[in-house]
Chains A and B, each alone.
Chain A
C-alpha cells in the first residue's frame, strides 16, 4: 500500500477535546463529525476542501485524553489518509487500529513544514518528504495488530472468530 498527500503539521499532546470538542458529541454521524475535525486545534480545519487525502504530522502523545472514537472517526471521515506522530496515546492508537485509520509512529519526525508532500510506502516501511528528499524508516505493526488490520478492522476480525467458533 502506498499513500501520497499534503502534510498538515500539529504539535505535541494534541488531545481528543481538540480533535473533536465535546460540544459536537451529540452525534456520531461521521459526515457531521468530519466538519469539526481538529476544530479546537485549528478552527475550520474540517471544512477545508484541500485536506482530503492529506496527512497529519504531529508530535508526542497524539490523541491523548478521552476514549471517544469520534476523534479518529472525524479524522477518517474528513478524508485524512494517514496520521504520523512521534507517539500516540494508547486508546487513540487502539481505536485507529480497530476502525482502520492508518497511523505511523516515527520518533525522529523533524523537518516537516505545512503543505510539504509526503509519500508513504507501507510495504517497505519507508516514507519520504518529497519537498526535502529526506527519508524516514518506520517499524511495521506487531503481528496481532497486522491481523486485525488485514481483516479490515476489529469487527471483521471478531466476526471471523464468532463464525469460527460456531463452525468449530
Chain B
C-alpha cells in the first residue's frame, strides 16, 4: 500500500513510517499564534514555572486581529505578547508596519516552507498546505506545549483524495473551487481528515489560488488541505531562495474517499448566509437581487496580489454604487506596496473604495467595518456565520474578489460577466 502525502510529510519528520490513526509526538518547525491566541499560550507557559522557551526560533507571533489596536484592552493584549517576544528573544514577532495577516505573511516571508510541520493557534493555519507543508490549527494550550518542549501531538489523519481536472474559466478562481468543494463535503465532511489535491488540473492552479483553497479546508472541518510539491511550488520557493524537492501522494495511497472536480465546470460561486457550505452559482443568486451595504475584499483567504489585481480589473473605470461602501485590505505590507506600484490604489480610490492597512479587521467583526443590524455584506473572507462581521442581525455572503467587486458596482450581488 502506498502513502498519502500526509503520511509522507509526517513520516519524513518523525524519522520513521507512520500510518493513519497513529498518535505521535512531533517536533514542529513553526508554532504560530496571534494577538487573540498568544496571550493564553504565554500565560500557560509561565504558569509552569519555566523561564525560557524551548526554542525561540520556532515561535512566530503576529498581532493582526485587532491591529492597529482598536481599544485599550486589545492594546494591553498586544503589549503583553510584545513583552514576551522581547524577553524570550522571539525575532519573528511582527509589529504594525512590518506585518500582514499571519497566513499571508508567513509564506511570503519564507517562514513556512514546503515540507514543514506547522501548528498555529488559528484555525486557518491550514493555508500552508498550499506549499505542501503539513499545517494545522490547534489551540493556545498546544502552543504553550511547543513553548515548553518544542513538540505537539498529532493523530495521523485519514485523507480524502480531491482529484482535479481541467482549468478555470474566466472570472473563476480558487475561491469558487473551494466554495464548490465545501458545498459537496458540507461543513463537517472533512472533520479530522486531510484533503489532498491532485490530478492533472493541479498545474493549472496558481500559487495564490492554492493559498485560498488550502485556507478554507477548515470550513469543511479539514485538519489540513495539501497540494503536492510540484513545478509551481518549486518556482514559488525559488523566488524566496528556498530549495525543496517535489513530493506527491503515491498512486495506490489509502484514501478513504475520492471526489472528482473538473475546473471547467465551475461557475463563480456565492455562499449565502449562514454557512460556508451554502454556495450557489452566482447566476442563480443574481436573480434574487440581493441588495448589499458593504463589500470587503481582503483577509487571509483573498488578500494577495492575484486577488487585488482581479478586483482592480473589475473596478477600473467604474464606481461603487452610491448605496454601498467598499473596504479593500491588502494582506501584508509587501502586497500593499506592490499594489501601489502597479497603480491598483489609484483604481480603488477612483472607484471610491476605502483602502486599509493590513489587518483582519471586519473579517471576524473585530473592527474597521463592523456591520449594523440588518446590514448585508459581500465579502472575500471565509466565514458567514451569524454575527461574524458584526450585529447578529447582519448577513455575510462569501465570494471571490471579482464577484465582490462587480456586486459593489451594481449594488446587489452580481455576476461579473454581466457588468
Contact = CB atoms under 8 A, between A and B. Distances in A.
The residue among B66, B188, B364 with the most chain A CB atoms within 10 A of its own CB is B188
A164 to B, nearest CB: 10
A128 interface: no
Nearest to A100: B141
A94 B221 contact: no
A10 B305 CA distance: 41
A95 B141 CA distance: 7
Contact of B122 (A61, A67, A94): A67
A68 B125 CA distance: 13
B139 A95 contact: yes
Interface string B146-167: 0011000101000000000000
B387 interface: yes
Chain A interface size, as a band, is: 35 or more
Contact of B139 (A17, A94, A159): A94
Contacts, number: 130
A21 B387 CA distance: 8
A38 to B, nearest CB: 12
A73 to B, nearest CB: 8
A61 B188 contact: yes
A150 interface: no
Contact of B149 (A18, A27, A70, A158): A158
A154 B366 contact: no
B212 interface: no
Interface stretch (B40-48, B110-118, B196-204, B345-353): B40-48
Contacts of A87: 188, 191
Contact of B74 (A26, A61, A70, A155): A26
B144 interface: yes
Contacts of A64: 187-188, 221
A59 to B, nearest CB: 10
25 contacts: A25-B65, A26-B66, A26-B71, A28-B43, A40-B392, A60-B188, A66-B122, A66-B123, A66-B364, A67-B122, A67-B123, A67-B138, A73-B40, A87-B188, A87-B191, A90-B191, A94-B139, A98-B139, A98-B141, A98-B142, A99-B141, A155-B47, A155-B145, A159-B148, A161-B25
Interface of A: 13, 15, 17-18, 21-23, 25-28, 40, 60-61, 64-70, 73, 87, 89-91, 94-95, 98-99, 142, 144, 148, 153-155, 158-159, 161-162, 165
